[in-house]
Amino acid sequence: MKKFGLALGFVFLLALGAVSQFSFYLVDNFEDGDFTKSPKWWRFGNLGAEVRQNPSLEARDLIAESCGDYSLKVSGGTTNWYVGGVGTNLGVDASRFSRFQLDLYGSHEWRGKIIIELFEDDNQNYSIEQDPQNNYEPIYDDKWLAEVNIQGQGFTRISLPFTAFRDVNPGVGDDIWNPEEKDGSGGLLKLQLVAISEKQEGEMDFSIDNILLTY
């Protein structure tokens, strides 16, 4: 009977692991202390980025605790709202997920918003072709966008349904949210996070953590 109970418990743990394995897709939590390797992130505009240790907690905060030891700290200045951004390649079948989620650590002094850009493959070649003469906009593929405000100091969890994203390049791609790896399509290929200052001339200073796709 004892052996049966142990076996049943082992089966339960395996089942729980299988469920958790498919309940989300982790893009990055920066716990490896490096954002230039796996996955590799790039920067653009005036935005500086580096992995920094999270501040110590002064009170119980479940979201902050889930952010672990490190997050991606980004900062920069602007003279015309736009600061810059970071991006990474994905290459994932996102059709089994329904939401985009990330944790943001804001500042009391400098605020603004983040534009979340998702690029999905519509011409079945596992690539996003971009036009350098047109602000590097996609030539054949859909680009989806949502905006979130950066709150005050402390981590805030942002969870957006994919239905909150809008197609910002109608007439390019098929204008349908279909980020699956099917018929030669690479699915959801790229993510970019663009920082916009609250003031026309100002600074931004915030951190990003726990970026994932989930239900």
Give residue 31's pLDDT: 96
**The dihedral sign for the CA sequence 119, 205, 209, 45:** positive
Among residues 141, 117, 144, which one has the least CA distance to residue 128?
141
In the chain, which stretches have pLDDT less than 50?
A: 1-20
DSSP string, 22-67: HHEEEEE--TTS-SBSSSBEEEEET-EEEEEEPPPPSS--HHHHHT
Whole-angstrom CA distances from 170 to 116, 126, 140, 148 are: 17, 20, 11, 22
pLDDT at residue 98, rounded to an integer: 97
How does the average pLDDT of the chain come out, rounded? 89
> Structure pTM?
0.88
Q: What was the pLDDT predicted at 3? A: 45
Q: How far, CA to CA in Å, does 215 sit from each of 29, 64, 212? A: 18, 21, 10
Percentages helix, strand, coil for the chain (3-state, rounded to 5) are 15, 45, 40
Cβ-based neighbour number of residue 122 at 10 Å = 20
Q: Considering only CA atoms, which of 179, 167, 116 is closest in space to residue 143? A: 167
- 153 close to 106: Cβ distance less than 8 angstroms: yes
Could you tell me which CATH number the domain at 25-214 has? Answer: 2.60.120.430
H helix runs in the chain, sequence order: 2-23, 62-66
pLDDT tens figures, 6-58: 344 443 444 444 444 568 999 999 999 999 988 999 999 999 999 999 988 77
Handedness of CA 134, 164, 83, 40 (dihedral sign): negative
